Chain A
Amino acid sequence: MPLLELVELTKIFRTPHGEARAVDGITLSVEAGETLGIIGESGSGKSTLGRLILRLTEPDSGSVVIEGQDVLALGRGELRRKRRHWQIVFQEPFASLNPRLTIRQIVEEPLIVARMGDRAERRLRVLATLEEVGLSADFMDRRPANLSGGQQQRVGIARALVTNPSLVVLDEPTSSLDLTIRASILRTLARLRASRGLTYVFISHDIETVRHFCSTVAVMHRGKIVEVGPTRDVLIAPQHPYTQSLISAALPVVPYSAAVGTTNSQGQTS
C-alpha cells in the first residue's frame, strides 16, 4: 500500500478574472521510503499541491490518503492530532519562524501541541533533534533573526522532524539559500531520510537538485502532471514536450562552452 495516495485532486482559485485551476485532477502515489520530486515552473501549482497534501488548503474535489487515512474525512480536532505525523518544511526559512520565539520554543512547540513528554523529556528531544540537523545546544536560546539562512532552515527542518513524522513535504527548502549551503542542507535531508526512513515529497524548480535527490519525479505544468516516472528515465528520455523544454532550459552542470572550449571575442564564455 502506498504511503501517500492522491486521486483526482483539484483546487480552483476563483478570481475576478475567472477561474484558475491551480491543481487540476492530479492522481499520484508515493511508496514509503520513496522521495517524490515535483518539478515545474513558477505558477505551475506545485506549492499548492504540497499544501493540499497536508490539507493546509482545502481542495475542491478529489481525495488524499496518507497511511490508509483519508485526510479529507478528518474532523478539525482529529486533523490537528494527526499533523505530527505529516510535516512540512517551507521555502522561506526566516518567514516561517516566529521572530518572537527562541529556537528552543520553536522546536519544542510541536511536542507541546502533540502532548509528547514532560518538560525534561521535551528538552532532551529538542536538543537531540537540533543536533541531528547540525545545530549545537548553543542555538537553543537564540532567536531566528540571529541565525544565518542555512541555520534558520535547519531549525525549520528540526521543527518538522521533532515529532518523528512519517511524511515530510519539502516545499523548495533550498531555493532561497546559497549554493554551498544548499548542498549541505540537501546532505542533511538525505542523511535524515536514510536514518529515519522518511518519505519525502520534494517540491522544486531545479532539475539538478531533483536529479540528485529524488527517486521518482513528477513534472507539473499548469496544474496537471504531464509526466511521472523514475527520475533517471524522465530526465534522460523525457517523453512529454514540456519536460523536454524544461530540461533543455536548465543550465548544465558543466557549461557547454567550457566543455567545448570556445570563447567569444570579449574573452567571455558564451
Chain B
Amino acid sequence: MTSLGGRASSWAKQGRAWAYKRSGMVLAVVAAGIIVALPLAAIFLHLPQNPLQPDVESMALAPNSVHWFGTDGNGMDVFSRTIESARLDLPISLAATAIALVIGVPLGLFATTGVAGEAIMRVVDAFAALPIIVIAVVSIQLMGGGATDVILAIALVAAPRFVRLSRAAAISLRSSRYVEAAVAIGCSPIRVAFNHIFRNAYGVILVQATLTTAGALSTIAALNFLGVGVKPPQPSWGAMIEDGVSMLIRGQWWAVAFPALALLLVIGSLNIIAGAIEDKMERVEHTR
C-alpha cells in the first residue's frame, strides 16, 4: 500500500511540475498573441467609431452602449482610440528596441579595451548625460518627423544602456576560465563575444529590452506632447493618458483607465515573454 501511495504522490508531483512548465509556456504564448493581435486589430478590424473624429455633441460621455469605453474631452471614442493606438505604438516601440539591441550589444561586447573602446564609451557617456527628450526632439527635427524617425530617435536614446550592460558582461566574463579556454582553442574575437560571452549574459539584456520597450511607449507620448513624431489626432496610449488626466478631477476616469489598462497589458505581456525565454534557457542549462 505504502509503495502504491508513494508512487501516486510522485505521479502527482510530476503532473504538477508538468503543469507548471506548461503554464509558463501557455502564458507566454497568450502574451505574444496579445502583442501581435493588438496592432493587427487596429489595422484590419472595423472599429465601432472613427477614432479620429471629434464630436462636440458627445464630449466626456461615460461608457455606454454606443461608446463602450466612453468618450474623451473632444468627444472621440475611447474604445476605438485605445485599439487604434496599437497601430503605431507597438511597432514603433518594438522596432526601436530591436534596433537599439542590434546597435548596442555588439558595441558593448567589443568596446572593452583599446582606444576605440574608450572612444565608444565616451560617446555613450555623453549621450547618457543629455536628457532623453532633448536628444529625441533634436534628432527628429533633423530627420523630418515620420514614424521611422521616431523609431531611430528612440533607438539612439536606448542603445547606450545596451552598450553598458553588454560591456559590463564582457568585462566580467573575459577573465573567466571558459573564455580563456575559448581563446586557447583558437576562437576568433567575434566567436568568443557571441558564443561565449553573449550566451552567458543575455538574461539581463533581455530584461533591459522589456524595460526599453515599455519606456519607448512613454517616450512616444512625451514626443507627441511636444508636438513631434506621432501627431494628434493620431492616438497613442501615452498621449491619451496625458489628455485624460485632466478629466479625472471631475470623476471621469474612463479616458485614462482604458489606455492605461492597455499599456499595462502590453508591458505585462512583454515581461511574461522575457521571463519565459529566460526560464527556458535556465531549464536547458540545468536539466540534461
**Which of A's residues lie within 8 Å of B, judged by CB?**
54, 56, 80-84, 87-88, 90, 92, 95-101, 109-110, 113-114, 141-143, 145-146, 156, 159, 163
Contacts and interface: CB of A to CB of B under 8 A. Distances in A.
B178 A96 contact: yes
Interface in B168-205: 176-178, 180-188, 191, 195-196, 199-200
A109 B287 CA distance: 22
A81 B187 CA distance: 9
Contact of B285 (A80, A113, A145, A156): A145
Contact of B196 (A95, A98, A145): A98
Contact of B176 (A56, A82, A95, A141): A95
B282 to A, nearest CB: 10
A99 B181 contact: no
A90 B181 CA distance: 8
A220 B188 CA distance: 33
B186 A97 contact: no
Contacts of A84: 185-186
Given A98-B195, A98-B200, 20 more contacts: A54-B184, A81-B186, A83-B184, A87-B185, A90-B181, A92-B177, A96-B177, A96-B181, A98-B178, A98-B196, A98-B199, A109-B187, A109-B195, A110-B186, A113-B186, A113-B187, A114-B186, A141-B288, A146-B288, A159-B185
Given A142-B288, A145-B286, A146-B288, A80 B188 contact: yes
Interface in B198-243: 199-200
B184 A99 contact: no
B82 to A, nearest CB: 41
Contacts of B288: 141-143, 146
B172 to A, nearest CB: 13
B149 to A, nearest CB: 38
A100 B199 CA distance: 7
Given A98-B199, A142-B288, A80 B186 contact: yes
Please indicate which of the listed interface residues B181, B182, B284, B288 has the most CB atoms of chain A within 10 Å of its own CB: B181
A162 to B, nearest CB: 9
Contacts of B180: 56, 90, 96
Interface of B is mostly: helix
A143 B285 contact: yes
Interface string B45-84: 0000000000000000000000000000000000000000
A109 B182 contact: yes
A-B pairs with lowest CB-CB distance, top 6 = A83-B186, A95-B177, A96-B177, A110-B185, A80-B186, A98-B178
7 contacts: A56-B180, A87-B185, A97-B178, A113-B187, A143-B285, A143-B288, A156-B181
Nearest to A88: B184
Contacts of A113: 185-188, 191
Nearest to A114: B186
Nearest to A83: B186
A83 B186 CA distance: 5
Nearest to B288: A142
B58 to A, nearest CB: 58
A61 B176 CA distance: 26
Contacts of A90: 177, 180-181
A71 to B, nearest CB: 13
Given A100-B199, A145-B285, A95 B178 contact: yes
Nearest to A77: B188
B185 A83 contact: yes
Contact of B184 (A81, A87, A92, A100): A87
A79 to B, nearest CB: 8
B184 A56 contact: yes
A97 B196 CA distance: 10
Nearest to B281: A100
A156 B183 CA distance: 14
A99 B199 CA distance: 9
Contacts of B181: 88, 90, 96-97, 156, 159
Interface string B250-288: 000000000000000000000000000000010011111
Contacts of B285: 99-100, 143, 145
Nearest to B187: A113
Please indicate which of the listed interface residues B184, B188, B285 has the most CB atoms of chain A within 10 Å of its own CB: B184
Contacts of B191: 113
Contacts of B187: 80, 109, 113
B275 to A, nearest CB: 18
B180 to A, nearest CB: 6
Contacts of A143: 284-286, 288
A95 B183 CA distance: 14
Contacts of A146: 286-288
